[in-house]
Structure 1
């Protein structure tokens, strides 16, 4: 390769997304579940936003946090799936370098915000169960707004260095990303430089976001369960714990797949590349689809409002 070509490739104008390597011939069929997931996630989260906006009785901390969760789910799924489907359907594999870094930012930022929202929702459940008489004085609209802003700003501040670090590396090996989107590690692994700064910072962000968030959620639910077991009757215990059911299911749906992906990445060297990429993408995008279903089915207020909207349209 000539020196001129090396210099031109050092800062590539585009990257090539391979989709799911090894399964290119099945891309059209693979698009069916991902397209279904995107439509379900978009309609479900948008419906929750509309219901909460239109019903004044839902203007309270729990549903404000639920709206922030729905927005982060919409951003995450929209950052990934339209481009993924264009690869599967039309073989549009190219993505501009700046667009790739932008996609990287929104994917990781929305994921960090979603994790923070689950902590805020765990705090909401803790106050509602352990300090019910002080709920309205502790979680005022001002406090809720500050919590929401803190969750968003934490995600933005921690993830913002990702694209700046990725931009500074020289890329002279290849510009082919073996995935259907621009993940942080997938991009920086293409650099022909010492990327330990990016790797170490990525681990730091994972610890600061998901690591600490899981600890805070675990502490919250330990205190919640202790308060529930102190209630005098089984019926009271079950009824109180039922108020946490939706949040607990959504939290598990978010963190358990991520744990599985992490374990498979580190210990599943014998797994086929296409299987790992397919499963990791499925698990990454599944919470965006599952969350509105969980809250729609398990939350009485949303379920009632949704049924009312449908009956109004039918009549």
Structure 2
């Protein structure tokens, strides 16, 4: 991968975790909160996306990838790695224009082309239009990464309104269905779909009742779709991250909770996006995962279940 993409700097520093793995920022983290949907450019402690130790080897040479929620966080990190592996990338995002522009800059610094398209995956017409624009720009689609998400904490189930349930499910579940249906006619043998699940879909989260339910649904959808598409030789897998330092949580949590984000993992810190993105690179090319489908890969920073 080329050096020019690796120039991002945090606006503030946090102490490093004493646990295993990389010595990445650990709690107490900045207690800054963000307005939804959360703009990564506004974060005092910038997420690490560039994977400086990673070396591409052309595993996605000639491939075209669509990444929803690709403007920031995990989406940005994997867009950079996909480009470093030779892919051309299209990112879909809601309205975070500044973040999307920066992601495209980083992708292009890796030698890839980047198409950014703003819209809401809740809307079937947007998903279909996104696919049409990608086909006009690149002529094909080989990898779909469903990564867009909405979450909002609530202490009691009584606090979950019908409108809130619809927002969470229409983004996190309906959006995945819409994107798959729009992309599927253009996928061929050896192509793949990767969904972003969550540790909350594996273990639940008492203050993320609706979000946990959607992530559990995504895991089940992944397994069912993998079986459904096996005869077409299209692989479907999911990555289930634990806590990751992205705009999603500072745009949702209270300041005190943001400061301690990830502290309860065995690693005693949240993951950085660059620590999650290589899993998507592993699942995307046939060279790495031709015999892997229907898998939900947990990357939670914790060994123990429960």
Query: TM-score scaled by structure 2?
Result: 0.30
Larger radius of gyration: 1
Greater relative CO, 1 or 2 (CA 8 Å, sep 6+): 1
Q: Name the structure with the higher strand share.
A: 2
TM-score (norm 1): 0.29
